[in-house]
Structure 1
Amino acid sequence: MSFFEALILGLVQGLTEFLPISSSAHVQIAQQLMNLSELSKPQLTAFIATIQLGTELAVVSYFIKDIGRIGSSWLRWSVKPSSKMTSDTKLGWLIIIGTLPVLIFGLAFRDFIENDVRNLWVIAYTLIGFGVLLGLADFFGRKTKSITELNFSHGMAFGLGQALALVPGVSRSGGTITVGLMLGYTRQAAARYSFLLAIPAVLGSGLFQFFASVGDLSQDLLVATVVATIVSGVVGLSVIHYLLKYLQKGSFLPFVIWRVGVGVWLLVMLTSGALTA
């Protein structure tokens, strides 16, 4: 892998991790287009796991004040429970509850997810199918509820949406935001809770994958990997900021069009033999 190819993958990871278009899909497509055949599967896995740490640190950095406030409120209530929870304590419990589905399904179906559904045919269909679902949810959703109106059943529903994203092409933010819109939350509220919900799940799985595979990183890849990780983090941080700002007035239609367009293009490329699954 050249230095330039590493930077491209870092850029793709940073641009797509927090948009509802599936980072895993776009990184896998980029790998195919660049034909990184000189890398072994363990080396490529280690590289991807490392650059994902950049975006994981980006979301933690962006929401660090929220994390501190929610975490301290939750800890205070846990040490000395009272009948009435503050909104931050409740949000802490909602994040824990919403993390359970991805934890359970991720452990139960790990081999199936990593070996049987991680191919471009699956990605093409999930990009299109869940893109259409996002569009319908955005069009028909009432978009009136704020994040303070979250309840425990809705928190679990968001969590199930996140668990769906274990299948490549669904998109973690796409799955959770779609559920949020279906439940009547505003675009910004759905996106904000989606990002907060991602922190324990994404950081936990990311660190697990990193430590499990970092030994496969070769010395000649080290500098490129570090730079690509920094790029993914800086770009990811910018994407979070501008997406939340955009969603104050903008819709998810551009992302729906992108998902469907990439999915259709991918089907054409696979059918013609220009790409292999």
Structure 2
Amino acid sequence: MDWLQIILLSLVQGLTEFLPISSSAHLILVPVFTDWPDQGLAFDVALHLGSLAAVVLYFRQELVAMLGSWCRSVSGRGTDADARLAWWVILATIPVGVAGLALKDPIESVMRSPLVLAGGLIVFGLVLGIADWRHRGSRDEYRMSWRDALWIGMAQALALIPGTSRSGITMTAALMLGLTREAAARFSFLLSIPVIVLAGGLEALDLVEKPLAVAWGDLAAGTLLAGISAYLCIHFFLAFIRRIGMQPFVIYRLMLGVALIWLFG
């Protein structure tokens, strides 16, 4: 891989993983508009590792509190807000885990066309826009119920459709359930941790079964660049939506979707 390919793919992964604009759509489109060879499974795993490191580092204090409280709740020493949030993250991950294992092959083989991406970008972009426009939420992620977590988890399973955006659909569901924009984003980011672990783990298993020569320098650069860009994305996104909301991302999704229909329709 040349450096331009490494930098572009790393930035695309780091910036779009947490924005409600579909990272899968952008990563699928890169080879459509370039003549670059496939970056390979090992590089995909490295990019996921960078994104995972970024979100864990950013929410390190919350994660430490959640883990400690969750362990205490498992041992029967009471359940507090941090423990409940940890349980809700686990509960909301189950639907996408089950759906991902059941639908992995058809999704990868049938639903990765530019027109499917365009449909996902437009339809779920409009839903996000409506949820944000009607937003009246006042709850934070610590005041969620198990039903809220389950509904958000079921919505997250729709992110298996390319173009939907995992972060976009989970934020949409959270907004509809009455969470604030910042709470919706924070819960979505916390949900990304087990999802990235599961996705990266499946890719790592495939990599072990099909061992290939590894360019360790490329992997290290991709991990570092994806991690830095993802960390900055999380930080500035949370500040951005507090003042402006989701509408700029909705407009971007609609424009990209229409462009794809025009180019490939």
TM-score bracket, normalised by the shorter chain, equals over 0.9
Aligned length: 264
Partner Cα separation in structure 2 for residue 163 and residue 134 of structure 1: 16
Conserved? CA contact 1:87–1:148, under 8 Å: yes
Conserved? CA contact 1:47–1:217, under 8 Å: no
- Alignment match, 2:61: 65
Deviations 1:159-199, CA, capped at 9 Å, x for gaps? 11211111111111001000011111110010001111121
- Alignment match, 2:223: 229
CA change 1:4–1:16 in 2 (3 A) is same
Fraction of identical pairs, as percent = 39
Task: Give the 3-state SS of the residue equivalent to 2:139 in structure 1.
Answer: coil
The 5 A counterparts of 1:247-266 are 247-266=241-260
- Alignment match, 2:41: 45
Give unmatched runs, 5+ long, in structure 2: none
**Is 1:164 the equivalent of 2:158?**
yes
- Alignment match, 2:17: 17
Within the candidate set 121, 124, 144, 1:150 is matched to 144
**Is 1:113 the equivalent of 2:93?**
no
Q: Please state how far the C-alpha of 1:46 moved relative to its aligned partner.
A: 3.2
Partner Cα separation in structure 1 for residue 82 and residue 226 of structure 2: 30
Deviations 1:225-246, CA, capped at 9 Å, x for gaps? 3212211110000000111111
Partner Cα separation in structure 2 for residue 177 and residue 222 of structure 1: 35
Partner Cα separation in structure 2 for residue 34 and residue 204 of structure 1: 29
Partner Cα separation in structure 1 for residue 123 and residue 132 of structure 2: 14
TM-score, normalised with respect to structure 2: 0.94
Aligned residue type for 2:220: V
Task: Give the 3-state SS of the residue equivalent to 2:127 in structure 1.
Answer: helix
Aligned-residue CA RMSD (Å): 1.6
CA change 1:122–1:216 in 2 (3 A) is farther
- Alignment match, 1:275: none
Partner Cα separation in structure 2 for residue 6 and residue 12 of structure 1: 10
Q: Please state how far the C-alpha of 1:131 moved relative to its aligned partner.
A: 0.6
Aligned residue type for 1:11: L
Aligned residue type for 2:49: L
Partner Cα separation in structure 2 for residue 59 and residue 87 of structure 1: 20
Conserved? CA contact 1:141–1:183, under 8 Å: no
Partner Cα separation in structure 2 for residue 142 and residue 149 of structure 1: 15
TM-score, normalised with respect to structure 1: 0.90
Deviations 1:107-166, CA, capped at 9 Å, x for gaps? 111111221212221111100111111000000122222222200000001111211111
- Alignment match, 2:8: 8
CA change 1:181–1:226 in 2 (3 A) is same
Conserved? CA contact 1:54–1:233, under 8 Å: yes
Aligned residue type for 1:267: I
Deviation beyond 6 Å, 4+ runs, structure 1: none
- Alignment match, 1:28: 28
Conserved? CA contact 1:58–1:234, under 8 Å: yes
- Alignment match, 2:70: 74
Conserved? CA contact 1:135–1:252, under 8 Å: yes
Within the candidate set 220, 223, 233, 1:239 is matched to 233
Conserved? CA contact 2:159–2:166, under 8 Å: yes
Q: Please state how far the C-alpha of 1:265 moved relative to its aligned partner.
A: 0.7
Aligned residue type for 2:172: T
Aligned residue type for 2:48: Q
Task: Give the 3-state SS of the residue equivalent to 2:242 in structure 1.
Answer: coil
**Is 1:199 the equivalent of 2:204?**
no
- Alignment match, 1:136: 130
Conserved? CA contact 1:51–1:229, under 8 Å: yes
Task: Give the 3-state SS of the residue equivalent to 1:109 in structure 2.
Answer: helix
